């Protein structure tokens, strides 16, 4: 089913809701649409908030609408155990003819028989008086079409990863004599871990043998193979899916299908003439163009096989990721250059977990076994679903797993995006090993060399800094006495940052070369300049901030996703952002400083660090760093000049800093007052 995405500007609860008939009343007949162009999905009544499966006596709690296709609508549901699914809803009023019923039976039968990590899982199907329901695996990150709309186009590294997963699913389907016949961006879904899942078997065809040909003209205009449109006498077979793969690969790299046009007849004309081009403004590798050209060959016999495609040089000429981070939904991930051996190993990893290559890993059920479309016509009561498709005593529910779950036990500890710590296991015991420079085997409070980070000490320090700035602005002579000493030339401050707090958190790079992410759950991960040692920072109301040392290759399963996010925040900043200052830095490994708080205002963004210093980044690109409660002021001007003063020197020698100090005083005063007032209210 090709789902139509809901506009993000229209809340789900404002969509028109059709009234669902009361169960106590006789269901009224839905009149046949007078307009032949009315979509059957428009006849699907919005289900009640509780959808009941009469066979299991189970209730699914319905929530928002996920999308709408030509014949069905899709909603998110949750069972009594909290497991979330997608439910595909088909109105019985659209299933009047024997042909439409047989089509639905075929879709259910084929989808039920599929068991592959890159195919949307089929849980169950049942019916009530009004609708037929198909309970499916929930793919939280929607469709590849929506992904492409957000990103415009994908990198070749991302395309390599997803193309392998598509090929793995196709090899499994074709091995079971199933042709999908409607492969397109809207029928390819992304799960929570950004793994690809093929769905919607509404147009799937089952072949008796490999030589059988189908002659039905079906599919979606932009993706239909020429032999489907123009080869009625000869028919079509598995190769039509490979044509669609070529269209999908082109669309991923260019941002739109190769034959796209506003008029359907114009699309068909382009397909017949095989007329498309590669835009000059988009840089594509020779290998990617070569693969697309071979897949879009007009002669089906000239298209490469699935195994030949997977061995194409396209997969070996650039970085091949083992996974795609969730951050890729909104920004292009950064993949470091790889040695050829690493690229090959990553290809083998992804291929094996998609059912390709020579690996012994079994990722799918009933490989090579044909699907039977023989359907027992026996029904339960007045229902329309045969008992063979919707048995009275259904099998136990499946547990859907992603492709990454097929890793070996050793790789699972580090590589799988779906690793989650056992709730009964302590955080410390889940760490595999410790580096020699990090001898402590437990999470510890921050070392004594750093100031305590309790809430009380934080706001006391902020209040003192606010008062000192106020005194300096009113009368620098009245400032408290700071010891005379040589001011340190190095400072800890943020040189790059990216705010992605609408989904994950705020990433930043410090002047000492370390990189950190402050997550929305108030935890932090900080990577040392050696790019190996890692600290996980958590907050505790009783003991303040706690630091857990680990490494990029050895960390708790709880941190797997956060480490992946850290990598891609880091890659994005390296690739897209410039440093605030080119001055000297201090590169430390142990007990790296980190950001503890941040605050965004119209004029500036403020950062507070674990060493009590505070930084303001202003809209005019000037930076103000306040250290030692005002004992040291550092200022980066518009020309990136770096200045270090005492507070009294700054006030007397730099007139342009006065307005910024006033803003800092007012912001810090307001911030601390609000937080302390909130704390007092909650404690009372």
Binding-site residue numbers for ATP are 92
List the one residue out of 594, 623, 647 whose CA is nearest residue 615.
623
C-alpha 19/C-alpha 115 separation (Å) is 36
Are the beta carbons of 372 and 362 closer than 8 angstroms? no
DSSP type of residue 120: -
Are the beta carbons of 572 and 496 closer than 8 angstroms? no
- For 551-565, the DSSP string reads ESSS--GGGHHHHHH
Helices (H), 508-625: 560-576
Half-sphere exposure of 569 (CA within 13 A, CB side): 29
What are phi and psi for residue 136, nearest 5 degrees? Answer: -125, 165
Are the beta carbons of 517 and 327 closer than 8 angstroms? no
Cα separation values, 627 from 34, 205, 326, 514, 598, Å: 75, 70, 36, 19, 16
C-alpha 630/C-alpha 480 separation (Å) is 10
C-alpha 155/C-alpha 29 separation (Å) is 51
List the one residue out of 181, 315, 320 whose CA is nearest residue 244.
181
Q: Which residues have C-beta within 8 Å of that of residue 83, sequence separation ≥ 6?
A: 397
How many angstroms separate the most distant Cα atoms in the chain? 97
Are the beta carbons of 430 and 557 closer than 8 angstroms? yes
Cα separation values, 94 from 14, 28, 132, Å: 26, 14, 10
Burial 452-480 (b: 16+ CB within 10 A, else e): ebeeeebbebbbebbbbbbbbeeeeeebe
Q: By three-state DSSP, how is residue 295 classified?
A: helix
C-alpha 466/C-alpha 630 separation (Å) is 9
List, as residue ranges, the binding site. Answer: 92
C-alpha 30/C-alpha 24 separation (Å) is 17
DSSP type of residue 282: S
List the one residue out of 333, 332, 289 whose CA is nearest residue 314.
289
List the one residue out of 594, 524, 606 whose CA is nearest residue 559.
524
Q: By three-state DSSP, how is residue 71 classified?
A: coil
Catalytically annotated residues? 182
C-alpha 529/C-alpha 507 separation (Å) is 15
């Amino acid at each position: 089913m090709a789902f139509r995405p809901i506009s993000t500007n229209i809340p789900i609860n404002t969509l028109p809701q059709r009234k669902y008939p009361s169960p106590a009343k006789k269901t009224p007949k839905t009149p046949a649409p007078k307009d032949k162009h009315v979509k059957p999905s428009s006849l699907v009544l919005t289900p009640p908030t509780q959808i009941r499966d009469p066979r299991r006596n189970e209730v699914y709690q319905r929530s928002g609408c996920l999308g709408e296709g030509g014949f069905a609508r899709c909603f998110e549901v949750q069972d009594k155990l909290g497991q979330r699914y997608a439910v595909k809803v088909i109105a019985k009023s659209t299933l009047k003819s024997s042909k439409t019923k047989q089509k639905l039976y075929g879709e259910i039968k084929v989808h039920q028989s599929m068991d592959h990590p890159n195919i949307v899982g089929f849980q169950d199907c049942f019916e009530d008086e009004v609708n037929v329901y198909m309970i499916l695996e929930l793919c939280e990150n929607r469709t590849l079409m929506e992904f492409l709309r957000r990103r415009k186009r994908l990198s070749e590294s991302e395309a390599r990863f997803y193309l392998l997963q598509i090929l793995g699913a196709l090899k499994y389907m074709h091995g079971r004599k199933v042709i999908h016949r409607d492969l397109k961006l809207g029928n390819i879904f992304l799960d929570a871990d950004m793994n690809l899942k093929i769905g919607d078997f509404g147009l799937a065809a089952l072949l008796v043998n490999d030589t059988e040909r189908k002659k039905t003209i079906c599919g979606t205009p932009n993706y239909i193979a020429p032999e489907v449109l123009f080869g009625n006498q000869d028919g079509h077979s598995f190769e039509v899916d490979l044509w669609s793969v070529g269209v999908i690969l082109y669309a991923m790299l260019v941002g739109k299908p190769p034959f796209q046009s506003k008029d359907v007849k114009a699309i068909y004309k382009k397909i017949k003439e095989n007329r498309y081009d590669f835009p000059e403004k988009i840089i594509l590798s020779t290998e990617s163009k070569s693969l697309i050209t071979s897949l879009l060959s007009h002669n089906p016999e000239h298209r490469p096989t699935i195994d030949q495609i997977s061995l194409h040089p396209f997969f070996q000429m650039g970085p091949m990721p083992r996974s795609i981070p969730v951050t890729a939904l909104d920004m292009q991930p950064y993949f470091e250059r790889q040695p050829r051996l690493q690229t090959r190993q990553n290809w083998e990893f992804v291929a094996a977990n998609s059912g390709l290559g020579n690996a012994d890993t079994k990722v799918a059920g009933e490989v090579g076994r044909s699907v039977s479309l023989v359907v027992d016509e026996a029904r339960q009561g007045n229902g329309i679903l045969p008992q063979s498709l919707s048995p009275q005593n259904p099998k136990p529910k499946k547990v859907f797993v992603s492709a990454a779950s097929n890793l070996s036990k050793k790789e699972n500890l580090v590589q799988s995006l779906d690793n989650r710590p056992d709730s009964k296991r302590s955080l410390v015991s889940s760490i595999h090993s410790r580096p020699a420079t990090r001898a402590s085997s437990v999470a510890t409070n921050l070392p004594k060399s750093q100031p305590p980070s309790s809430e009380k000490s934080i706001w006391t320090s902020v209040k003192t800094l606010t008062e000192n700035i106020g005194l300096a602005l009113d009368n620098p002579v009245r400032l408290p006495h700071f010891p005379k000493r040589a001011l340190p030339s190095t400072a800890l401050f943020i040189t790059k940052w990216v705010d992605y707090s609408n989904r994950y958190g705020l990433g930043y790079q410090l002047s000492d070369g370390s990189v950190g992410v402050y997550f929305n759950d108030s935890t932090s991960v900080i990577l040392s300049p050696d790019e190996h040692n890692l600290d996980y920072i958590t907050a505790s109301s009783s003991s303040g901030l706690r630091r857990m040392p680990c490494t990029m290759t050895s960390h708790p399963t709880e941190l797997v996703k956060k480490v992946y996010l850290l990598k891609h925040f880091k890659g994005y900043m390296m690739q897209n952002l410039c440093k605030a200052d080119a001055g000297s830095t201090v590169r430390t490994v142990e007990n790296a400083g980190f950001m503890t708080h941040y605050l965004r205002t119209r004029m500036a963004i403020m950062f507070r660090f674990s060493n009590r210093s505070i930084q303001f980044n202003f809209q005019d690109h000037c930076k103000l760093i306040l250290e030692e409660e005002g004992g040291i002021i550092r200022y980066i001007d518009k020309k990136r000049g770096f200045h270090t003063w005492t507070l009294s020197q700054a006030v007397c020698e730099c007139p342009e800093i006065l307005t910024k100090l006033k803003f800092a005083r007012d912001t810090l005063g307001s911030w601390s007052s609000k937080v302390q007032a909130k704390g007092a209210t909650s404690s009372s």
